[in-house]
Structure 1
Amino acid sequence: MDAHKSYSEDPRLPCHYGRKCYQKNPNHHIKYKHPPDPKRKNQYRNNNDDVKRRKMDLTTIDNKKINETELEHELNNIPIEAEPSDVSTQLKVFSNDVSDSDSETESTNPNPINIHSDQKSPTNSSLENGNYFRTKSKEDTTCNHINGHNTEFSKVYIKSKFLFEMPEDFYKFFELCERLNADNPSDALISIGLKLVGPFDVLNGKFCGVDKNSDDYLIHWRYYYDPPNLQTILKGDDKTGYHIGYFRDNPDDKPVFLVENYGMKDGILTPIGENIFGAISSYIEDRKKTCDPFSKMKFNKIQNIIKEEADKLSFDLSRKTKKMTKRNDKVLSRTFNKVGLVVPYERKTQLGYRKLAMSDKELGELLTKIDKAKPEEKSKFLAELQSEILTWTDIACDECDFGTGIELGWDILCHGVDLSHTTSRLLASNFRQLKWEAFAKISEAHMANRKKSCRLSII
C-alpha cells in the first residue's frame, strides 16, 4: 500500500512536530499521525490490529476547538475560568500528591480569640475561628514579639496565610536579628541595604490588628515578575526593586535555594545560596566588590556576624551547594527566568513535559510584538500566539504534560507582557493538575493584582 496515500487517509490529527516528534507516550500516538519515514517500508501497512489500536473517538477531535474567545478576553480584560481536563487515571505516575487537608478555609466568625500568657501551641482551628492578631492591648505582649512567646503559633499562622512552611534557617535568622536590633528586628540589616519583609512581618508583630482577605497575604511583597514559586523575605532599594526570596519546586517541600531579582528591571532569578545565611553572605560579597571603604567596613561587620552564627548552626554559606548542583539533573527546561523548570516527569514514557511548540527566540519576539503593538494590530499577534503555541500547549496539558503549560506561563510572566488572564489560566490549571493548590492560588491572586512598583506591602 502506498504510504503517502495511507497517511492522507489516516483519520487522526497530524502531529505539529511531524517526523521530528520524539514523543513515546502511547496516548500521543493514538491521537496524532506522523508523516511516513522514507527509510521505513510498509509503515502504513493494512494491519487490522494496528488500526484498531490507533483508532480514537473522532467526535472528540471534532469537538476540540481552538479557544478563540481567550483572545477577546485579553483584549477586553474579561477573566477566564479554566476547565480541568480528565486525567485522573494518568496522574498516578506522579508522587507529589497533596492531601485535601492542606487546603484551609477561613471562618466568618467575627469574635476574636482571647490570648493569654499560658496559651498553648495553637491548632489550625484556632486560625479558622478568627484573626489571632485582631486585638492588641498592653497586657497582650504576643503581638510585639511573637517569636519569643509563641513560635509554634507563628509557624501555623504563616502556613495558613502565605501557604508555605518556612524552613529552620528562616526562624534562626530572625532570632539573630532580634539580638542585633531588639526594638525592630526588620531593620537589623539596614546598614547593608536590606530589610526583612514578607513572612518576617508576622514574626515582627506587624500583622497585629491586621484583618485582610486571604488573597491579600499571597501578594504581600510579591513583585511584578515573581513566579508563585518565589516567596520574598528581604528587600533592597526601591530604584531597582532588588529582593531576595525562597524558591520552591514543590509547595509542600522545603525551598531548594534562595534567589535574587531586580523587580524593576526584568524577571531573571539568580540562585545565591541554599539558606538565608548563605544568601546574605553572597549578597555581601557582591556588594563589597564595588562599594567604598566606609561601606565595606559595614559589610564586613555584618558578614562576620553571619559567618559566626552560621558556623554555630552548621549552615553552609556556599553560593552553590551540592544540593543545588544536584537539582540541575532534574531541570527539564532553562526557562526565560533562567532558574530552570522542575516538575514530575517520567523519563521512560516521557510523561509530564514536552518542549514548547516554539523556540525561546521566536516566543520572545512574538511576546514583544504583542507588548508593543498598536491596539489595531494587537489582535493579529494574539491570534498568532493562540494558533502557534497556546493550542499545542493545551493539547500537551490534555495528555498530562503539565510542565509545558507551567513553562509557557512562567515565560510570559518573565517577559513582562500584560497577558494576565492567559498567564493565570496556564499556571493555575496546570498547577492544579499536579495537586499544587498553593501555587495555583498564588498565581490567580498575583495576576488579579499585579503591580510594577515597590509599594507591595498590604499592611
Structure 2
Amino acid sequence: MPGNSNGVKRARVNESGISQKENNGSTSQPSKKSKTVSETSKLSDTDSKILTELEEKFLCKHPQEILDFFNWAKELNPKEPTKAFYGVNKLELVGVFDYLAGKFANMQISEKQLLTHYRFVTDLPEFQTLFVYDGGRFGYWRDFPEEAEPLLVHISHKDEHFPKLEIAGTSNLLCAIYFLLKDQAHLEKYAKFFPETADLNGFENLISDAQKARKKKAVGKAMHGVGIWVPVKNDVGYRPVTDNVASFKKDLITMGTTKDDAVKDKMRKKIMETFAYIQMGNDELDYGMGLEFGHDLFVSGYECFDKMAKNVLATAYRLLKRENLGKILEAQMEIGRRRENVSVIES
C-alpha cells in the first residue's frame, strides 16, 4: 500500500502544467489539450505499479494526472498534502488521495468499505469523489471503468435531490482549483497554488472544450445533466426513457415525497409502466434506456427508489459489460447509501 513517502518522486511534466524534475532536470511547457499518458511521457515502473494498484483497489483506471497532482500537493504541503489547497474554499484531497497518503495503512477495512470511501448518497458508480470543499465536491466521471481519460465533474452540496453535475475540466486536476477561483477579482493572489509552468489563461478554454466535447458525445437527457454514453449503431443501443423529462421528474418527486397513499399508488403504477418499457428496451438491445432510467432513479435521492435503482443499474452494467461499476454499486448499497459518515477513516 502506498504511504506518505511512496509518491512518484520524479514524475514528468505533463499537460497539467505540474512541473516535476526528470533525471536530466529538464522541463517543458504544458499544452492546453488533455492527452493520454502515452502521448506525453512513458510511465516509470513505479508509476505503473501504483496506477495498477489503484485500479485493483478502486476498480477503475486512473490517469497519470492523479500521481502528478499528488506530487504537487506534497510540494505545497509535505506534512499534510491532502490539505495543500485548504486555502481555496477549504478544499481537501480525499478518496484515492487518502489511499496515496497512506491513511489506510494501519486500518482494517474491507474492499467494499474502500470502494465507498467518500461516496455520497447521490454519487453514481461512474463518479469518484477526489476533492471536497465548503460548497461541494469534485471528482472523475467515467462512462466505463477502463476509461483512460475521465472528465472532471463538479457537484454542489446544496441539492439533496437531483444534484446537477457540471463538467469542470479534463483529467487535469488543476482545473478544479481554477474552477473555484475563476471568478476572483485578483486571481494572481492564488498563483501559489499553481505550478510556475501552468498557463492560467488556458484553463478557461480547457474547461469549455471539455464541456463541448461531452455535449457532442453524450446521448439522452439524464437528469444529472452530463448525459450518458453507450455505443449506438444503426439506431440500436439507446432510446429515450420519456418524451417529457420534466413531467417524469415531477412524478419521481411526487412519489418520493407524498404521504397520500392514493397518490403514491398512482405514481407507482406510472413508474412501473416505464419499468416495463425498460425491460422491453433491454430485449431489443437498447441498453442505454435502462442505464438512463437507473441514473434518474438513483440521483433522485429518494429511498423508495433504492431497490429499483439497484436492480435496473445492475442489469444495465451487466448488459453493457461494465461489471466493475456493478461491483461499486453493490458495495454502496450493502454498506449503506445513507450512512452517517462518508469517510471510512472517521466513521
TM-score in terms of structure 2 length: 0.79
Q: Which range moved further: 187-196 or 222-231?
A: 222-231
Q: Distance in 1 between matches of 2:138 and 2:327?
A: 21
Q: Does 1:451 align with 2:345?
A: no
**Change in 2 beyond 3 A, CA 1:325/1:420:** same
**Change in 2 beyond 3 A, CA 1:404/1:319:** same
Q: Distance in 1 between matches of 2:220 and 2:51?
A: 33
Match of 1:191 in 2: 87
Aligned pair partner of 1:372 in 240, 251, 257: 257
**Change in 2 beyond 3 A, CA 1:442/1:391:** same
Q: Distance in 1 between matches of 2:47 and 2:189?
A: 29
Q: Distance in 1 between matches of 2:258 and 2:280?
A: 28
Match of 1:424 in 2: 310
**Change in 2 beyond 3 A, CA 1:233/1:390:** same
Aligned pair partner of 1:277 in 174, 182, 188: 174
Structure 2: tracts of 5 or more residues without a match: 10-45
Which one-letter code corresponds to 1:362 in the other structure? S
Q: Distance in 2 between matches of 1:458 and 1:151?
A: 26
- Give the match's secondary structure for 1:226: coil
Question: After superposition, where does 1:160-199 map in structure 2 within 5 Å?
Answer: 160-192=56-88, 193-199=90-96
Q: Distance in 2 between matches of 1:151 and 1:392?
A: 46
Aligned pair partner of 1:306 in 194, 197, 211: 194
Shift of 1:301: 4.1
Shift of 1:452: 7.3
Which one-letter code corresponds to 1:369 in the other structure? T
Q: Does 1:363 align with 2:248?
A: yes
Q: Which range moved further: 161-170 or 323-332?
A: 323-332
Task: Assess if the C-alpha contact under 8 Å between 1:268 and 1:414 holds in 2.
Answer: no
**Change in 2 beyond 3 A, CA 1:413/1:303:** farther
Q: Does 1:439 align with 2:335?
A: no
- Give the match's secondary structure for 2:145: coil
**How big is the alpha-carbon RMSD for the aligned residues of Structure 1 and Structure 2?**
2.5
- Give the match's secondary structure for 1:447: helix
Match of 2:130 in 1: 233
Task: Assess if the C-alpha contact under 8 Å between 2:219 and 2:227 holds in 1.
Answer: yes
Shift of 1:247: 1.0
Question: After superposition, where does 1:383-402 map in structure 2 within 5 Å?
Answer: 383-387=269-273, 389-402=274-287
Q: How many residues align?
A: 302
Q: Does 1:261 align with 2:155?
A: yes
Aligned pair partner of 2:219 in 332, 335, 340: 332
- Give the match's secondary structure for 1:179: helix
Match of 2:97 in 1: 200
Q: Which has the larger radius of gyration?
A: 1
- Give the match's secondary structure for 2:239: coil
Aligned pair partner of 2:113 in 212, 216, 228: 216
Question: After superposition, where does 1:46-65 map in structure 2 within 5 Å?
Answer: none
Q: Distance in 2 between matches of 1:300 and 1:232?
A: 27
Structure 1: tracts of 5 or more residues without a match: 1-132, 134-141, 290-295
Q: Distance in 2 between matches of 1:303 and 1:406?
A: 41
Which one-letter code corresponds to 1:340 in the other structure? G
**Change in 2 beyond 3 A, CA 1:372/1:361:** same
Q: Does 1:249 align with 2:249?
A: no
Shift of 1:329: 2.3
Which one-letter code corresponds to 1:181 in the other structure? N
Q: Distance in 2 between matches of 1:152 and 1:223?
A: 29
Q: Which range moved further: 163-172 or 366-375?
A: 366-375
TM-score in terms of structure 1 length: 0.61
Match of 2:19 in 1: none
Which one-letter code corresponds to 1:422 in the other structure? M
Q: Distance in 2 between matches of 1:276 and 1:458?
A: 24
Which one-letter code corresponds to 1:328 in the other structure? K
Shift of 1:330: 2.4
- Give the match's secondary structure for 1:191: coil
- Give the match's secondary structure for 2:7: helix
Q: Distance in 2 between matches of 1:375 and 1:170?
A: 49
**Change in 2 beyond 3 A, CA 1:203/1:302:** farther
Match of 2:22 in 1: none
Q: Distance in 1 between matches of 2:265 and 2:241?
A: 22
Aligned pair partner of 1:342 in 229, 250, 270: 229
Q: Deviations over 1:112-143 (max 9, x none)?
A: xxxxxxxxxxxxxxxxxxxxx4xxxxxxxx63
Aligned pair partner of 1:405 in 290, 300, 310: 290
Question: After superposition, where does 1:40-119 map in structure 2 within 5 Å?
Answer: none
Shift of 1:324: 4.5
Shift of 1:424: 0.8
Which one-letter code corresponds to 1:259 in the other structure? V
**Change in 2 beyond 3 A, CA 1:308/1:221:** same
**Change in 2 beyond 3 A, CA 1:317/1:153:** farther
